[in-house]
Structure 1
């Protein structure tokens, strides 16, 4: 059973018009009409409100039985997009941290004092150069991979939309 049919069935079982159903949910009658005609879907907060007002489980409301309907597909797709966005944000932050740390290493190396002590030993923090370049290279790789993934997902989304 499609989500729109489920909403219409729920409304009719409770002997409500679209107007009265909308008033109980604090939405417009047009919103209810769009839900029933599968033109639009309510957000998660409204689903929870419908579930509590009409004493129906979210499973029954969203799934409407054993078949996956358009509401379930929308929730799965939204969750997937949110997870992907969080992953992109985390990798971008990691890349930025690596770049900043690499630049900090090079800055410290450039501004540090090199000296020879009384016993003739050179004191220099040479190790900061390869570490700094390694962190900068790693940060750039993270940005590059994240950017390529973002572009591929955009192309895939456009193809699905067509």
Structure 2
């Protein structure tokens, strides 16, 4: 049985209208209709909420529909990519800040020949890390918005 038919069967067995189920799940009636007509599938969080609402296991709710299983695997993969991008972004920003802190801690000295000794290379490297972190943050925001639009 496909996912939409499963949701409709469960809803009808509990004598709920689409509107009543939508209120319980905090979604629109049109969302319930689109699930039941297989025009759209819920995200993983909503699938868990549906299973809890109907007091059934996730296996009972989704394993009968291969398209639902595929969607959940794809959603999990997308979330892992978003988390990885976020971690890389944070590491880049921390590395940039670390470069600036290291530059200020090391400081500069003048040797006996009158030559200035300073770790000048840390400044452009710090800016590079900050720029890469900023780019990663923008990519992360775009991925999150695309992920939310699809759900």
1:1-162 map, 5 Å? 1-64=1-64, 68-69=66-67, 71-109=68-106, 111-114=107-110, 129=119, 132=122, 136=126, 139=129, 143=132
CA RMSD for the aligned pairs? Answer: 4.0
Instruction: Determine if contact 2:96/2:125 at 8 Å carries over to the other structure.
Output: yes
Are residues 24 and 85 of structure 1, via their aligned partners in 2, closer, same or farther at CA, if it must alter by over 3 Å? closer
> Separation in 1 of the partners of 2:88 and 2:122?
19
Give TM-score scaled by structure 1 length. 0.58
Aligned length: 137
The answer on whether the counterparts of 1:8 and 1:36 sit within 8 Å (CA) in structure 2 is yes
Q: CA deviation at 1:13?
A: 3.3
Q: What is the CA-CA distance between 1:76 and the residue it aligns to? A: 2.1
Q: Secondary structure at the match of 2:72?
A: helix
Higher relative contact order (CA 8 A, sep 6+): 2
Moved over 6 A (4+): none
Q: Find the structure with the greater CA-based Rg.
A: 1
Please say if residues 101 and 135 of structure 1, whose CA atoms lie closer than 8 Å, have aligned partners that are also in contact: no
- TM-score by length of structure 2 reads 0.61
